[in-house]
Amino acid sequence: MAELLDGVTGPRAVAQGGPNWLGTWTLYKKEVMRFLKVLPQTVLAPLATTVLFMIVFKVAVGGSRPATGGVPFEFFLAPGLLMMAITQNAFMNTSSSLLVAKVQGNVVDILMPPLSAAELTLAFILGGITRGLVVALATVAAMFVLPFPCLMLSDIGVVLYFGFASAMLLSGLGVITGVWAEKFDHVAVMTNFIITPLTFLSGTFYSVDRLGPFWTAVSHSNPFFYMIDGFRSGFTGHAVSNIGVGALVLLVLNVLVLIACHQIFKSGYRLKA
In this prediction, residue 203 carries a pLDDT of 87
pTM attached to this predicted model: 0.91
Q: Do residues 63 and 232 touch, judged by C-beta distance below 8 A?
A: no
Which residues of the chain, if any, have pLDDT below 50?
Answer: 1-16
In this prediction, residue 207 carries a pLDDT of 84
Q: Do residues 178 and 97 touch, judged by C-beta distance below 8 A?
A: yes
In this prediction, residue 7 carries a pLDDT of 43
**Which among 11, 224, 168, 190 is positioned nearest to 99, based on CA atoms?**
190
* DSSP strands (E only) in 205-256: none
Give 185: exposed, middle or buried? Use CB within 10 Å, 0-12, 13-18, 19+.
exposed
Q: Do residues 232 and 208 touch, judged by C-beta distance below 8 A?
A: no
User: How many other β-carbons are positioned within 10 Å of the β-carbon of residue 57?
Assistant: 18
Could you give the angle at which helices 243-267 and 117-143 cross, rounded to 10 degrees? 140
In this prediction, residue 69 carries a pLDDT of 72
Contacts of 25 (CB under 8 A, 6+ apart): 123
Instruction: Give the Cα separation of 249 and 17 in Å (integer).
Output: 36
The values of phi and psi at residue 123, to 5°, are: -65, -45
Identify the sign of the CA torsion 212, 82, 84, 234. Answer: negative
In this prediction, residue 63 carries a pLDDT of 63
User: How many other β-carbons are positioned within 10 Å of the β-carbon of residue 201?
Assistant: 17
Q: 248-266 pLDDT, tens per residue?
A: 999 999 999 999 999 999 9
User: How many other β-carbons are positioned within 10 Å of the β-carbon of residue 96?
Assistant: 20
Instruction: Give the Cα separation of 69 and 164 in Å (integer).
Output: 25
